[in-house]
Amino acid sequence: MTSRGIRFAGLVALSALLLTGCSMASGGSDSEMSEPDIGMEAPAGGGGVAPRDEQPFTEDEQAGSIEEDDHVIRSGWMAITVDDPIDAAAEVAALVGAADGRIDSRNETPATDTQQARATLVVRIPADRYDDVLADLRELGEVDSVQLESDNVSQQRRDLDSRIESLQTSVDRLRTLLAQADDVGDLIAIESELTTRQSELDALTAQRDALVDRVDYSTLTVELLSEGLAPEAGPNDFWSGLAAGWNALVGFVSGLLVVIGVMLPWLALLAVIAAIVVGIIVLATRGGRRPRGGGPRDGGGVTDASETLEGAHAAADASTDPTAGSSAGRPA
């Protein structure tokens, strides 16, 4: 057989193989496409995934499971009018202690002539006893106002748990690598990274613990007030007005006398200081004055000097004036 014939026979055989493969692939794809029709009837006889209305859990049970996983922070503020806020504060502390709670802060202010007594407490109550304690607090007196709030932090709690779990896994791996490392450079790098991851882990753990504490112990601010002071009745006729005016005048004069009594020592001190200053000024002024009259003329001094100077000028004029010389030689 020639080479051309061999090539032709090879092409025929290759074409036959390609056709056979395509027919098998199409047959397989048809069988695969027909399998779902058989599988759809399987759940009817048992097995497989049951329809939603045949699932063993009801919607109420599912809702209950979701509520159990919720993490809610509850807080509130309550104002109560009582007879004695100080005694009522002790009762609030006793109620919180009986509920296994704690008191974060407590402030008590006794009554005075101008203000009423009051007490303020910030308490932490277990979440499962929160409503019971609220009911007990309402019995202490007349409730003026109540404000309750809640914050669902379930997503925040899940995020913290996930990040803590990832960091814990990373820290464990780094510790394993640290135990297996032999090179000094690797040891330093692993220790540095381990320190960083451990710090992040500790910070997230502390954040989660604080969040858990706020969820487990609800916060309530209790403000206890006494009855308000009754305002005094004002004057309603002439005599009561006159009495009120007289009392006001007496009070003003009394207050003025008190002010004068307080300022009098200071005024006396200021007067003494002013007298000393004036005396110093007067003495300085008198010491600076000089006598206007001088001593005798023949005793020297300023007058003699002026007369001597005038005589010198006269002599100079006589020497320069010829008429003055001739007249001086003539007999009188």
- Does position 66 have pLDDT exceeding 70, yes or no? no
What does the pLDDT read at residue 34?
Answer: 40
pLDDT at site 238: 79
The most distant pair of C-alpha atoms in the chain lies apart, rounded to whole Å, by 197
pLDDT score, position 78: 93
pLDDT at residue 302 in the model: 46
Rounded distance between C-alpha atoms, residue 70 and residue 110, angstroms: 43
For 175-199, what is the mean pLDDT? 89
pLDDT higher than 70, residue 211? yes
**CB contact set of 54 (below 8 Å; sequence gap of 6+):** none
| 133 band by pLDDT with thresholds 50, 70 and 90 | very high
Half-sphere exposure of 203 (CA within 13 A, CB side): 6
Reported residue count of the chain is 332
Percent of the chain with pLDDT over 90: 40
Instruction: Indicate whether 166 pLDDT > 70.
Output: yes
Q: What is the mean pLDDT of residues 187-191?
A: 89
Q: Is the pLDDT of residue 235 over 60?
A: yes
- Tens of pLDDT, residue by residue over 28-64, are 444 443 443 433 344 344 444 344 344 444 444 444 4
What pLDDT score does 213 carry? 93
- Against a cut of 0.75, is the pTM above it? no
